[in-house]
Amino acid sequence: MFSAFSTVLLRDLVLAVRNQADVLTTVFFFIIVVSLFPLGVGPQIETLRSIAAGVVWVAALLATMLSLGRMFLYDFLDGTLEQILLAPQPLAIVVLGKVAAHWLVSGVPLVLISPLLGLQFGLSGEAIGLLMLSLLLGTPVLSLVGAIGAALTLGLRAGGVLISLLVLPLFVPVLIFGSGVVEAANTPGGAGANFSILGAGLVLAVVFAPMATAAALRISMD
């Protein structure tokens, strides 16, 4: 199973390197969305600090959704997905490898760029660190849950719109606790509760999302 996971992960990473335009589109979209808010809201530093975490998280969520439709699409179009379904390895392990590759090429760049974007909002070093950690815990959940929607809408017309309708309600808890980390750090209880909930959500998503995605793929291919 580990061999199947690593093979799928490496294959998708190689394909992502060959199709760098898809990766850069997600990154530039994230940068542009976050950078537009200071221009629209104004230069008031206190206002920018109060909305910084929410803006970065909403932009990360939208950027992730932008790339969800491509997670299984190319394999579906060239017939690779049919061969994957016939393979003796558990489909959930293969799905987990594809989701891991998706997060590495679309989620990790967002985490790495977030400190530079946080400086536009006047965030302190501690606040930027908390924001990065929340993205590091939350963006894998977005990829895992989003994979279910991508599998259910595979091959459908206007699949991108349907993915949004399916997964946006499921993203709301991650958005709430992820964006609330910076504000919660200034309360007596600190941000520990937010991180605990994000971590629990990540564990649940890793355990159940690949199996749900595998079932959705079989339904879509029938």
Question: Tens digit of pLDDT for each residue in 127-176?
Answer: 899 999 999 999 999 999 999 988 888 877 766 678 888 888 899 999 99
pLDDT of 144: 94
Distance, in Å, from the CA atom of 119 to the CA atom of 38, rounded to the nearest integer, reads: 11
Which long-range contacts does 101-104 make (Cβ < 8 Å, 24+ apart)? 101/8, 101/9, 101/11, 101/12, 101/13, 101/16, 102/12, 102/67, 102/68, 102/71, 102/143, 102/147, 103/139, 103/140, 103/143, 104/9, 104/13
Distance, in Å, from the CA atom of 103 to the CA atom of 107, rounded to the nearest integer, reads: 5
Tell me: pLDDT of 103 over 90: yes
Q: What's the CA angle centered on 9, arms 7 and 13, to 5 degrees?
A: 115
Q: Which of 14-23, 113-122, 176-185 has the highest mean predicted lDDT (pLDDT)?
A: 113-122
Tokens 């790495």 -> residue: 112
pLDDT of 139: 94
Provide mean pLDDT across the span 81-106. Answer: 89
What is the tally of structural domains in the chain?
1
pLDDT of 158: 66
Residue-range definition of the domain harbouring residue 50: 2-221
Average pLDDT, the chain: 87
Strand spans (E) along the chain:
none
Contacts of 94 (CB under 8 A, 6+ apart): 4, 5, 8, 84, 87, 214
Query: What is the percent of the chain with per-residue pLDDT over 70, rounded to a whole number?
Result: 97
Provide mean pLDDT across the span 203-222. Answer: 90
pLDDT of 188: 63
Tokens 């997905």 -> residue: 81
Whole-model pTM: value is 0.90
Provide mean pLDDT across the span 68-83. Answer: 83
pLDDT in tens, 7-46: 889 988 988 888 888 888 889 999 999 988 888 877 788 8
Tell me: pLDDT of 197 over 70: yes
- Dihedral sign from CA coordinates of 89, 92, 93, 97: positive
pLDDT of 186: 65
Closest to 92 measured CA to CA, from 219, 206, 220: 206
Q: How confident is the model at residue 99 (pLDDT cuts 50, 70, 90)?
A: very high
Question: When comparing pLDDT for 69 and 98, which is higher?
Answer: 98
Q: How confident is the model at residue 203 (pLDDT cuts 50, 70, 90)?
A: very high
Tell me: pLDDT of 222 over 80: no
